Every structure is written in structure tokens, then in C-alpha cells.
Amino acid sequence: MFAKSFVATFFIALIFTSCNSQSSGVKNMGPDEFEKGIAKPNVQLVDVRTPDEFKEKHIAGAVNINIDGSDFEKQLNALDKNKPLYVYCLAGGRSKKAASAASKDGFTDVNNLETGINGWMGANKPVATANGEAPKAGMSFDDYLAHIKNPDKLVLVDFNAVWCGPCKVLKPIVTRQIKKNSEKVDLIEIDVDKNPKVAATMNITGIPLLILYKNGREVWRSMGLIDEDLLSGKLKEFAN
């Protein structure tokens, strides 16, 4: 009796899980699969980043609907819910939320670029800019590795972007601390939009991001805003 009850419960749970999985309606894709998908007719390609990010670079044919904009839901629902929807952002986080919202709002075919445009460019896929010029390639990962190897000083890498509010708040904190510790610490500032290969290889999923290196080896990292005393303490700790 117990065995029959267990089997019945198991299959009910399996069906429930399967239905939930299918009802999510979102397919996460890598750059190659995403590229094939958006090449098909009647596809709606949406960049959910900020307008500034979109102007910097975007996938050709995309429309910009900022997920953080006050009219995001209105613009999203103005699209055809019966046509395939392809969404992307910088690294996959915001587009995942947008894809989930679209699925809940009744879009029948929702596809998310899991790696974001950073992964797209890291896979050598083409992008467009507002003025039609191809964006510069930026720093290679080999260049990055060469920069962080300093036998005489610590190297602090600040990953940021011009559109990132918290990055702007963190910048003067970092600047002050580098100035105070200039004999012991070098600073490398990396705009993730202008250096997509490094951002993709380092799997940067959020900014601001600080990474501290000693003799080319990572010894500390912190994502988001931090207290200046904490940064000062870490620099002093690893400089000794």
C-alpha cells in the first residue's frame, strides 16, 4: 500500500515539476544558438539595458526597452505576444528578469541570451553602434594578465561602466585610496562595455567590481559599493 502511494505521489510531483518547467516559457541560449534564432523571420529582438548602454553598442536589429524604465511593462506589452521574443542585456541578469516578466505576461516564445552582450562579443559576434561605427576591440585578456602582474606593487582592478550609478559613487573612494597608497598599489580601470573580451573571460556579472592582485594572484574581491575603511584596510593588509 505504501509503495503504491509513494509511486503515485512521485508521478504527481514529476508531472507538476514538468508543467512548472514548461510554463516558465523561457529558453536560455548561448551566443551561437541565439544568433541562429534572431536570423529567422518575424523575430522581436529586445535590448533591455539603458539607452546609454544601447548607444555604446548593441546587436543589429534590436530595439531598446529599458527594464529599469518606468514604462517597461507598457513597451513590452506593445509587442506581439505570438511572435518569438529574444532578449539580452550586459551579462544575462537583467534579461533573465525581463524574459520571466514576458513569459508571465503571455508571450509564447521567449528566448534569453544567457551570457549577455559581453558573451556575445566574447564569441566574436558582430555588434552595431549608434553612429554606425564598429566599436573598438578593447583590451585583450592577454593584455589584462600582463597588467596585473607587478612584482613590486599590488594591482587593484576597478571594473565599471559610464552608465553605472554605484560605479560613480565608488570612484572617488578608490581614487583617494590609490593616492594615499600610490607607492604600494597601482590602479587599472576597466570599462566593461569597452573591454568585452576581458569582461566575458572574467565572467563579470555585476559592477562595480574591485579585484586586488598580489604578484599576479587574486587575493581579494568585492562587488558593489563598499565602505572606504574596508578598502583601506584590505590595501594595508595585503601590502605588508
Three cell numbers written together for 43 = 523575430
Q: Residue 210 corresponds to which amino acid?
A: L
Nearest to 148 by CA among 198, 87, 100, 192: 198
Question: Could you tell me where the beta strands, DSSP code E, fall in 44-133?
Answer: 44-47, 63-64, 85-88, 110-113
Q: How far is residue 82's CA from residue 132's CA, in Å, rounded to a whole number?
A: 31
Q: Residue 53 corresponds to which amino acid?
A: E
**Are residues 107 and 85 in contact, defined by beta-carbon separation less than 8 angstroms?**
yes
Q: How far is residue 184's CA from residue 186's CA, in Å, rounded to a whole number?
A: 7
Three cell numbers written together for 222 = 568585492
Spot the catalytic one: 59, 167, 173, 212.
167
Q: Active-site residue 19, yes or no?
A: no
Spot the catalytic one: 48, 65, 113, 164.
164
Contacts of 22 (CB under 8 A, 6+ apart): none
Q: How far is residue 120's CA from residue 35's CA, in Å, rounded to a whole number?
A: 9
Active site residues: 164, 167
